[in-house]
Structures are given as C-alpha cells and as structure tokens.
Structure 1
C-alpha cells in the first residue's frame, strides 16, 4: 500500500470562489482552549443561520477552510467520497508545522483506514466488520453487563466520586480490550495512553507558540512533553508487539483481524498497523467515554427526562440516540474537495478543505425541532449523524449503543438519585469533546450488617 502521509496535502489557500455567505464575527474554531467550556453552540447557531458554509481563515497564515454547520451540508459532504476525499488531505483540520509533528503519531494518524478512500477503505473496513456486527454484540453483551455491575460496585459505597475516573473511562477500555484480546494485566495502561492522546493538540500548540516566540520556555511544559513522548512510544511499542504476536499466531479476536488484514492481496505495512492501532485505541474509547459523561450531565440538567426514563425502561434505546445527538462527542471531520462542488449555494473549489461540524448539524432546527432541548422521546433522534454518514460512518456505533444502554439501565436502578455536582473539566481539544473529570453525587449503598 502507498502511504497516505507521502502524498497528503494541506489544502489550497483559498477561497478561490466568491463567498456566498459572510464570515461570522467572533468565531474561532481553531482555538482549542475555547472548547474547554464545551462546544460553541451559540457560534454554531449563528453560523447555521447566516453562513452554513462559512469560510474560516486560519491564524498565522495557515490554510483556511470551509466550516459546515447545517445538517444538509454535513450530510452531503460526508456522503459523497468521490467529490470530498478523506485521503487527499486527511481528516484533521491542519497538519501542523513539520517541526512540531510527533513522527510516529503523525504517520499513524494519517496512515489508517479512516484516511482512505474507495476500495482500500472498503477492504480494510470489511476485515474489521466481524467484530462490529449485531451477532458479535450479542456475544459481548453479558461481559459488558457484568463489568458495568463490577464498576458500580466500586462506586456504591462512596456517595461522591469522579464519574470519569471510576466509570466512564473504564467501561469502554474494558469493552475494547475484550474485543482485542488484551490480557487483564495490561488494561490499566490504556487509561494513561488515552489521557495523553487527548492532550496531543495542547502539546502541539505549546510547541508552536514557543517556536514563534509567543511564549517562553517552561520547564513544566518541557517535562510534560517528555512524559507525553514516553507514553506515546510505549503505546505504539505495545501495539506493535501484540500485532506481531497475532500475525504469527492468530486468535479469534479483533487484534488478529487487524494484524492479518490484507489490501489488494498484501498484508498491511508497519505504518498502517500503527495507524490501525492508534485508531482503535483512540476511537474505541474516547467517543463512548464522553457520551457516558455527557449523558450524566444531560440527565442532571433535565430531571423530567431522567424521571421519564426511570419510569419506562422501554425509552432507553431512543434515549441513547438522543444522548449522542446532544453530546456529539466527535466535534468535526475534514474532507478535501476533488473538484469544484456546490454545497448550500457555496462553491467549494478543488483542493479546498471542508470541515463538517457534527454537533452543529445535530442541532439544526430544519431537522430537529427545538434542537437544544433534550427529549428522550424525540421521534427522529436516530436520524442524528454524531457517528457520521455514508461509507465512513463509525464502525463502532453499535458498540457504543450497547455500552450506553447497559450503563444507564444499571446506574439508574442502583443510584436513582445520582446527579452531576456541577464540577467538570474538559480538555483543550477541538477535535473531540473530551471530558477529563465529572463529579457526581448519590446516596451510597450500605452493605447489610453481618448476621
């Protein structure tokens, strides 16, 4: 396979065609620190109303992009891989200065299934599919349910805890490791790796600022970067070792499927194995974890919806669709135009970047009535595109649904008064809505006294 990173392009400077819409003032979707307050729902609303396909300049003379915030625009671009390529520019907003790129992380993030088009993408996706079917989910359900119970048992006597640390980060790691075939003794390491992957954008920004002379060298930042590099190296070393073992001795697990995947009759080269490992570790954990945390916040802010679900468990499946619509844990994906294409009346020229904001699309009133209201009975909640649309729709969406349903079924049965305390921390990240800490309170369970 040819490497995507060898031919990836940053995008044309643009815009090369007349603007159909104005640039909305006060919007900066490149500032990762603005996302520590959550997604910019008000900015998204203003953009949808006045500029659903808005030219967004990049600071410091970077290559600008088209920001798509309407449901129609996001669905069109996501569903047309011939006109909007994942491979030509990758899925990230910008590639960053070459001198700030982590060599392994950059290569892995660009050389993976999610960055491929056409037949290679379909072939790789097909290799993964046996572990993401409804049949496989049924085989996984009992193990997930038992782990939910175990995690809630550890929370039960506390009465107050960090929901992320005690539950939301642990359940998806368990589920992923069960699918991959990771030994129990190795699973704690995944939590540290995920933490550092979520901080990758912050590391890059700090390095860029120092190179530009906008900040002074900071020993604490230097120490953190060293720790970051050490953890990332450990993560890839572990993945390479496990994949090599599965290539030599395949097992009935997802790790073996990745290790022995073939595209056009050839096994994946090392760069694509790194990419597959990074994708499954990050995507397999992050979206579910943040949906679990986001749901706790939503139910606390909307007690009537919580009471309705507690009264009628039959609403749970639709409630999960509404949770993913409201949270939209993946903030954006990028595509690059392969030819001039009109989207919502705006011509996007060949080579220009189109960035799809899923949360903005999922709150489009043209599709979802009263879109900022959390409504677990919403008739078209399943229509949300939090997991994408078209050939690149998230392969793990049923896995996320399984975990969210079982988690909230048991949580509300065990802790009917559980609530978010109002305290939370969100990582500086404009790619995923990454909740680092979310404090909850509940009436603790007391063990019965010994007879």
Structure 2
C-alpha cells in the first residue's frame, strides 16, 4: 500500500493560506492512488489524475455517491434524508432530479429573467461604488448571486439573512474557528430542507412567477414533485449556487488584481468573459474534492480496495497537470477552452 507522507492532505490547516498547489502537484506526479489517514474513519484513498477521477465519478456500480460526496459520515437519520436528495444519488435517480436543474435554468426562462438579473447586478455595485472601496467577498461576491438566486426562486427579502446564515454555517462546519462541531453543519442542512419545503408550500398557496413555481409544477416519473422533494432540491441548489459562486467571484477577482494585464484584456474585450470564467474555475477550483464509496472488494490501480473504502478525487489536481494544460500555473483568460 502507498502511504501519504503526512497525516492528511485535506486537513483544514493545509488550506488556511490557500490551496497547497505544490504539494498536490508533487503527489500527482508521484502517485496514481494513495492511502492516507484521517480523523473521520481512519483513512481514505486519494486520486489525482484525470482519467482515474473520471472513472471513479462515472462508474457508480463500483463507486457510489449514496453515502456522501464529502468525507463526513452522516448520522443515520440525517443520511436517510440526504440519500433522497440529488447530491447523494447515483444514476438513474440523479439524472431525473438533475433534469429539474436543467429545466429551471433553461435558456428561454433565463433570457426572460435577464432584466431582473441585470437590475440586481447594477444595484449591488451602486451600493458601494461611491465609496471607492468595498469588502468584496461579502458586499459583492456574496450579495449579487444571493440576491439573484433568491429573486429567481421567489424567496422573500425578510428571509435572506436566515438562509445565508444557514449556508455559511454549513460551509464552515469543518473550520474549528467557526463551528464547534460538525453537528452544526448537519443541522443547518436539515433547516435548509425545511425552509425549502415551506417555500414550496407557500408557492402552492400563493402562486407567483419564479423558478420554484416552475419546478414544483414539473413532473417526475409521471407525478408531481412533493414539497419535501423540493426542499431537498432547494438545499442542493442554494448551497452549490451561493458558496461556489461567491468563492469563484472572489478568487477570480483576486487573480485579476494579481495579473493586471489580464484585467485590461477583459476590460477591453467583454467578449472574453466566458473564457475568463472557465479560467477562474480551472485555476482556482473552488470545490477541492468529491468522495465516492467502494461498493465491493476489488483491485484498483494495483491496490486492494475494500468494500466501504472512501475514494477521494482531488478535483484541482488535473487542472494543474502540464499534460493537459500548457503552462498550467499561468492565469490566462485567453486559454483555449
């Protein structure tokens, strides 16, 4: 068995000052698969290469998503609830619920709601522009996607703060400075599901033009979507939509500040925005890893994998692989997609 030369790569302290790129690059160069110990269940396997990550993520009969996409093992009663949500599902169930996302964000509806999104973007910037400075993470990177998403979903203004606090609690549950234990994160996730359930019920009583209305009127397997099902969908959507978007905006701006020539390119040619977003995602990869769980004993990449073993895909590792991206550490918004 190959052992990682440290207690754990995924310890929060290793990411306190940013992603440990040099360490991840070295591990990718030296290993296909690697065992390391952790504080969750004794240990897990790490994967760093694109082909291996693709295989694990796309072979659910061998590597299931149903126990959790993160390292935490959920308490049984919470796991039972979460296993009915999209982020804990394997195909074909995942595909059915993923179709709700595709439907909610279909191009025709987004085009119709663009004026709303543009207005929110202008209002968000107008609140700070006269000051000449702002605390970008909270005042722009969080506020803009939050207000856009909540407006699209029909969340009432008075509920914004409550939902954002739950998202932040869930996102920071592993950080010892911000949460006493992981139970707070589990509870926040359940409260988001409850809020989404109430939101669906409110829309049925008081119909209005929103993505929530679109989704609850959509059929799955020939039946109407239940309020609790929408609650789980809401939990997935706001956690994924707010946390990752906030981080991508903030880290992307940071890279533009560090590389003013790239900022000038973007300023001169707004048509580069799509490529810039792709480079933000590649260069900074705000989602560090995804976990899968082995469904049976097997030999994989020369190692004996036991049923129930956790396999952790380090998603950013291929993004800095020179075999896939020329000069991978360079930040280049004109990089071919």
Is the TM-score greater than 0.5? yes
Contact 1:24 1:46 in 2 (8 A): no
Q: Which moved more, 1:108-117 or 1:159-168?
A: 108-117
- In the other structure, the counterpart of 1:83 is 62
Query: Are 1:153 and 2:133 an aligned pair?
Result: no
CA contact (8 A) 1:169 1:191 kept: no
Is 1:33 equivalent to 2:6 in the alignment?
Answer: no
Provide the residue aligned with 1:304 in structure 2.
Answer: 261
- Length-normalised TM-score, structure 2: 0.86
Shift of 1:129: 2.0
Q: Deviations over 1:364-400 (max 9, x none)?
A: 2221122111111112xx3xxxxxxxxxxxxxxxxxx
Over 3 Å counting, the alpha-carbon distance change for 1:79 and 1:232 in structure 2 is closer
Residues 341, 319 of structure 1: alpha-carbon distance in 2 compared, 3 angstrom cutoff: farther
Shift of 1:284: 1.6
Match of 1:43 among 9, 12, 23: 23
Given candidates 15, 30, 35, the residue that maps to 1:55 is: 35
Alignment partner for residue 53 of structure 2, among 74, 78, 92? 74
Equivalences, count: 336
Question: What does residue 65 of structure 1 align with?
Answer: 44
1:24 equivalent to 2:4? Answer yes
| Contact 1:128–1:257, Cα closer than 8 Å, also in 2 | no
Which blocks of at least 5 consecutive residues in structure 1 are unaligned? 1-18, 209-224, 383-451
> Cα deviation per residue 1:316-342 (whole Å; 9 max; x = unaligned)?
211111111112111111112335666
Match among 146, 149, 153 for residue 180 of structure 1: 153
- How far apart in 2 are the matches of 1:293 and 1:329? 10
1:119 aligns with 2:92: yes
Whether the 8 Å CA contact 2:296–2:307 is kept in 1: the answer is: yes
Q: Which of 253, 268, 278 is 1:321 aligned to? A: 278
Q: 1:360 Cα deviation (Å)?
A: 1.5
Where 1:67 maps in the other structure, the secondary structure is: strand
CA-CA distance at 1:51 after TM superposition = 1.3
- SS class of match (1:176): helix
Give 2:197's match in structure 1, choosing from 221, 235, 240: 240
Structure 1 pair 314–66 and aligned structure 2 pair: CA distance change class (3 A):
same
Secondary structure at the aligned position of 2:68 is classed as coil
2:48–2:317 contact (8 Å) kept in structure 1: yes
